[in-house]
Structure 1
Amino acid sequence: MSSQSITTDSSARQPSLLDATCENFVYDVAEIAPTMATELGLVGHDGELQDFSPDYWDAIADRIRDLIADVDALNDGTDESDDEDDFDEVDHVTAAIIRDRLGLQLEIHHQGEYLRLLNNIESPVQTIRDCFSLMNPDNIDAIESRLSKVPQSLQGYRESLAEAASQGNVAAHRQIDAVVSQCEELADEGSLLEDLGLEHDAAAVAGAKEAFAEMADWLSTELSPLAPHDDAFGRERYAMFSEYYIGHKVDLDEAYEWGLDRLREIVAKQKELTRLLYDDDCPIRVAYRRLNEEPRYLLKGTDELQAWMEKMSKRTIAELDGSQFTIPDEIKVLECRIDPAGSGGIFYTPPADDFSRPGTMWWSVPKGQEVFHTWQELSTVFHEGVPGHHLQLGITLTERDNLNLWRRAVNWNSGHGEGWALYAEQLMDEFGHLQDPGCQMGMLDSQRLRAARVVLDIGVHLGKKVPEGTGIWDASYAKAFLRDNTAMDEVNLSFELDRYLGLAGQAPSYALGQRAWENLRDDALAEGQTLVGFHDRALKLGSMPMDLLRNEVLNS
């Protein structure tokens, strides 16, 4: 299958029946899940909030089934003697992505995983909390309306968790404790809900805060006593999530061994760098400490951090545009903000589909953290910004003439997306933007963390023997292993560990996705493609499992 028609004459392609079907699907799901509409910048839903009840999850699944049935019906009606309603090359790719991605989503629903969904980073409490940061702060009526629906939303969520618990499916204690803390922060004085533009004592604010307090109490008293202490998902559950996040079935035992080999390779490079930096054989962790003490890498306070993020983003966009990538005008601005949630994560939110809201890099600084080190964080700016997620997702959004709304703004495969962002960090070293040895150490620290996550994630959830062979992976060993393999501070490290243990299969998608991107790049160059041409072509196709992307990019 060729992607030639996708990349050469975009104006010649008219939207197909499948494109219209996908667009209708997005608008229907936006009615069911208003927070998704906010993420996409679709108007008319900002005052609404889904309730996360069993009926909500069933409604999403029913609409997915209808879409897959429509795809099959349209495909059955397509043959070579048919008329203009035939699937073209873009449609065939769209249909393959839908069957793969949404088929797996239905399987996850069938297994009851959405009913039990609770973790510290990607479950309903965080969805409710974070959706307000993407809303127009001038639309006070919509903010007030959505806030007023928080109690109903959390009540529906409790119904789902209770139904899952009745079947013996409850998240681990660690995840419940983390979400209880998040709910308590949202209920306490100084809650970020007080900074949305309404008066602190407004009824909607008070009602939402009280609802989060009730949620924390319910989780503590009703759900926590039913929760297991074992964090492991087990091989069968893990394999399902691994395929969903990575985009294809993975030999988990091979991936585990590859992660260990990759770690050894990175550590060897870091040891070489320590000798270059300090002309001695100091341990890597000592080199981290010395780098942290160097004034040239030091930022104090979130104002300095935000200004530095903006400066580096602007510089990178200017330097890469036209030389290494073709950067559309619509995404030459990247907003950099401090996330009020203070969870410890660093993340990116894409522009609205019409670019009325810019792409944004968020730094969620934990309370009390006032010092930041640029040697360690520069690669993160590349990962979240350009040439990472901002370039990747921004280019896809500009492909309005070729990709329907679902493909350009909704569909997301972590192996493709996070793999690209980690690949982008490595690219910046290859492009010569990390000539400073300290920043090279930071990039290798980032690469080392992602390799360690492959080993940790598979090791814990599959109950494998630890590398030393003296015991079985558990949370205690995992924390020590993580501490040994990152320069991350303790607050962020604890958050990240909870994330891996509660979002099984996602963390390895970064390094394994990067491996897939590097293999695809090498094969594309071997058949005569240029690096700039390969990147432009691949990114214009949007997110998809890497096996599908390989079919589109090679031999065309």
Structure 2
Amino acid sequence: MTDLSASVVRAASPIDEIADRYVDTIARLDPLAATAMGIAGFDGAMTVFSPAGLAARADAARAVLVELAAQAPTDAVDAVTAAAMRERIGLDLELDDAGEWLASLNNIASPVQVLRDTFDLMPTDTVAAWENIAARMNALPSAVEGYTQSLAAGAARGLVAAARQVDEAAAQAQEQADAETSFFTAFSSGADVEEALANSPVAERVRADLARGAEAARSAYRELARFLREELAPQAPAADAAGRERYALWSRYFLGAAVDLDETYAWGLEELARVVAEQEAVAEQILGLAADGDVGDGATGDGDVVRLAIAVLDADPGRTLHGTDALRAWMQATSDAAIAALDGTQFDIPAPVRALECLIAPTQQGGIYYTAPSDDFSRPGRMWWSVPPEVTEFSTWREKTTVFHEGVPGHHLQCGQAVFDRATLNRWRRLACWVSGHGEGWALYAERLMGDLGFLDDLGDRLGMLDGQRMRAARVVFDLGVHLGLPAPERWGGGTWDADKGWEFLRANMNMPEPFVRFEFNRYLGWPGQAPSYKIGQRLWERARDDAAAAAAARGEDFDLRAFHARALGLGSVGLDVLRAALA
């Protein structure tokens, strides 16, 4: 086990004790969350997704807010904890009161996905680990039954996800139901199982439990697909837009801040234009080098300057990886090099956080994501790449910035440092609190920071970073425009934004294969307010840094960026309004 001792340990306060007990309550009421946090002892249990399960968690949330209100902060750390818990738990309850958790269904972050994805985080190296896996798989039918009860209760209140989301979720459920395509088929009988069970006297029993569990999981997803298609789809509205009231609530949830939605939309249009101009300037430089024979020879055909530059980069064999083995090795080498270069120069990275494991995900739906280390770092932080089966070549120029986003100085530094800092932060702040605008905003901020520090001086790598920034700016416009029914620029059809106009807009501003764009398109429509939290979060992070620099100048001091980053990351993940107040 990793040594997590520290020379100076802050004494736990009554507020810390409340927060720590609440983590125990979360783990008991939501074992899948316990697995995600890396809390041992709950991997064999299953979260209850029924209305009764949701109500139990809401009751616990109300109770902890009552406890919290009775305590006064003892220091600045307590003040941040109290503010962060009131903000996060309060918003959970607002969403519960609005019935939003009863209607949780989309193509990326609903129980449809969580019930499968939890198995990626579970240990697989012991007999006991596979016993837990078997128990959890065998509990999937009851979990799905409870989930469908919640969806039905939501429908009775007039709360049903849009038809597009119901169809997408049904297709995903059917994939897990069919033996040939189901994750559970291979997972329950692969090489990891045999390695862990070798020479175990209970091997045959565990294998049988796993076989039953895999069939139970497939059966559960089969029933979920049937329910979605036959019972929920007829009640699903055709309209994708969330509307202003729902959108404002979800925006606050994902940002941990209240922003002027109309001003943010106008800023999104301006930011997109600014990033496109910057991207075009870099593209012109790439084409100039190509004309001189210094970079590939792919600049042929019709198209704008950015697409011509992309053709040059994609034609460069030095920027192309073949196969997922090469991809994983490149991810790991790029991540390791960044950690080595930044540690002790820009950041002080704790020893356990210097380990980041890069993996090819067991799913094949596309996308790159990060999972945080467990509480004791026995499960390291991991960067996962979900690769569609038809994708066999990868361009490093597109993805170097993504490694910085998911790894160091992005999510892994941010999350890993919080998990490590048990000397100061209670368990709720280290393990349970996650705010998308804070986390994803920091990761985009980190990408820009790496550019400023010279890690993206290669023109191709810089174009890749700008390509990602362009996509994030475009989805601010798309998400706000479509969900709020805002005016669309004439270039994109004029009138009011709708999904069809948004599709053409995304295709023009996202340099990705069409299946990826389609997945993202559906994601934004089904998860209002989440996608813009990246770029808006980056904006608020940059404001916090600029405010700190201005304050230092007013005091006649030089601004210490490294110290600012250490102080800000030392807070853990908090709402962006709480971050601003804590750094003021």
Q: Give the shorter-chain TM-score range.
A: over 0.9
Match of 1:266 among 264, 275, 292: 275
The aligned residue for residue 32 of structure 1 is: 29
Match of 2:43 among 34, 41, 46: 46
The aligned residue for residue 82 of structure 1 is: none
The aligned residue for residue 96 of structure 2 is: 109
Q: What is the letter of the counterpart of residue 147 of structure 2?
A: Y
Match of 2:131 among 138, 141, 152: 141
SS of residue paired to 2:241: coil
The aligned residue for residue 80 of structure 1 is: none
Displacement of 1:394: 0.8
Q: What is the letter of the counterpart of residue 431 of structure 2?
A: A
Displacement of 1:190: 3.6
Displacement of 1:168: 1.4
Contact 1:35 1:50 in 2 (8 A): yes
Where does structure 1 differ by over 6 angstroms across 4 or more consecutive aligned residues?
none
SS of residue paired to 1:74: coil
The aligned residue for residue 14 of structure 2 is: 17
SS of residue paired to 2:321: strand
SS of residue paired to 2:254: helix
Q: What is the letter of the counterpart of residue 281 of structure 2?
A: E
Which string of whole-angstrom CA distances, capped at 9 and with x for unpartnered residues, describes residues 15-66 of structure 1?
Answer: 0111111111111111111011111121111111113100111111111101
Contact 1:274 1:282 in 2 (8 A): no
Displacement of 1:12: 5.5
Contact 2:284 2:305 in 1 (8 A): no
SS of residue paired to 1:419: helix
Displacement of 1:102: 0.9
Alignment of 1:408-423 (within 5 A): 408-423=430-445
Partners of 2:7 and 2:236 in 1: how far apart?
53
Displacement of 1:525: 2.4
Query: Larger deviation: 189-198 or 389-398?
Result: 189-198
Partners of 1:167 and 1:546 in 2: how far apart?
32
SS of residue paired to 1:361: strand
Identity of counterpart residues, as a percentage?
49
Contact 1:344 1:364 in 2 (8 A): yes
Displacement of 1:505: 0.4
Which string of whole-angstrom CA distances, capped at 9 and with x for unpartnered residues, describes residues 196-235 of structure 1?
Answer: 3445981111111011011111111111111111100000
Alignment of 1:394-405 (within 5 A): 394-405=416-427
> Which segments of 5 or more consecutive residues in structure 2 lack a partner in the other structure?
1-5, 190-206, 292-302
Contact 2:287 2:312 in 1 (8 A): no
Q: What is the letter of the counterpart of residue 373 of structure 1?
A: S
Which string of whole-angstrom CA distances, capped at 9 and with x for unpartnered residues, describes residues 415-435 of structure 1?
Answer: 111100000000010000011
Contact 2:173 2:224 in 1 (8 A): yes
Match of 2:392 among 370, 383, 386: 370
Match of 1:343 among 365, 385, 388: 365
SS of residue paired to 2:359: strand
Which string of whole-angstrom CA distances, capped at 9 and with x for unpartnered residues, describes residues 377-398 of structure 1?
Answer: 1111110000000001111111
Alignment of 1:544 with 2:574, yes or no, is yes
Partners of 1:350 and 1:12 in 2: how far apart?
23
Displacement of 1:283: 2.4
Partners of 1:475 and 1:372 in 2: how far apart?
30
Alignment of 1:155 with 2:145, yes or no, is yes
The aligned residue for residue 215 of structure 1 is: 224
Partners of 2:500 and 2:312 in 1: how far apart?
28
Partners of 1:57 and 1:10 in 2: how far apart?
41
Alignment of 1:522 with 2:546, yes or no, is yes
Displacement of 1:523: 2.1
Alignment of 1:463 with 2:485, yes or no, is yes
The aligned residue for residue 227 of structure 1 is: 236
Q: What is the letter of the counterpart of residue 148 of structure 2?
A: R
Alignment of 1:372-451 (within 5 A): 372-451=394-473
Alignment of 1:194 with 2:167, yes or no, is no
Partners of 1:73 and 1:18 in 2: how far apart?
9
Partners of 1:434 and 1:43 in 2: how far apart?
40
Partners of 2:578 and 2:100 in 1: how far apart?
26
SS of residue paired to 1:115: helix
Alignment of 1:183 with 2:173, yes or no, is yes
The aligned residue for residue 78 of structure 1 is: none
The aligned residue for residue 73 of structure 1 is: 70
Displacement of 1:271: 1.4
Contact 1:10 1:402 in 2 (8 A): no
Alignment of 1:344-363 (within 5 A): 344-363=366-385
Query: Larger deviation: 199-208 or 531-540?
Result: 199-208
Q: What is the letter of the counterpart of residue 214 of structure 2?
A: V
The aligned residue for residue 553 of structure 1 is: 583
Partners of 1:413 and 1:319 in 2: how far apart?
28
Q: What is the letter of the counterpart of residue 414 of structure 1?
A: S
Partners of 2:154 and 2:488 in 1: how far apart?
32
Displacement of 1:268: 0.9
SS of residue paired to 2:161: coil
Q: What is the letter of the counterpart of residue 184 of structure 1?
A: Q
SS of residue paired to 2:384: strand
Alignment of 1:247 with 2:277, yes or no, is no
Q: What is the letter of the counterpart of residue 151 of structure 1?
A: P
The aligned residue for residue 309 of structure 1 is: 331
Displacement of 1:10: 7.6
Partners of 1:290 and 1:57 in 2: how far apart?
52
Contact 1:457 1:501 in 2 (8 A): yes
Q: What is the letter of the counterpart of residue 251 of structure 2?
A: S
Alignment of 1:81-96 (within 5 A): 87-96=74-83
Displacement of 1:282: 5.0
Q: What is the letter of the counterpart of residue 37 of structure 2?
A: L
Partners of 1:328 and 1:220 in 2: how far apart?
49
The aligned residue for residue 206 of structure 1 is: 215
Partners of 2:53 and 2:474 in 1: how far apart?
37
Contact 2:284 2:309 in 1 (8 A): no
The aligned residue for residue 325 of structure 1 is: 347
Displacement of 1:315: 0.6
Match of 2:114 among 104, 115, 127: 127
Partners of 1:499 and 1:10 in 2: how far apart?
45
Partners of 1:29 and 1:12 in 2: how far apart?
25
The aligned residue for residue 58 of structure 1 is: 55
Q: What is the letter of the counterpart of residue 564 of structure 2?
A: F
Contact 2:188 2:211 in 1 (8 A): no
Partners of 1:225 and 1:506 in 2: how far apart?
27
Q: What is the letter of the counterpart of residue 326 of structure 1?
A: D
The RMSD of aligned alpha carbons is 1.5
Q: What is the letter of the counterpart of residue 338 of structure 2?
A: T
Which string of whole-angstrom CA distances, capped at 9 and with x for unpartnered residues, describes residues 528-552 of structure 1?
Answer: 4301111011101111122322232
Match of 1:275 among 273, 281, 284: 284
Contact 2:319 2:396 in 1 (8 A): yes
SS of residue paired to 1:305: helix
TM-score for the superposition, normalised by structure 1: 0.94
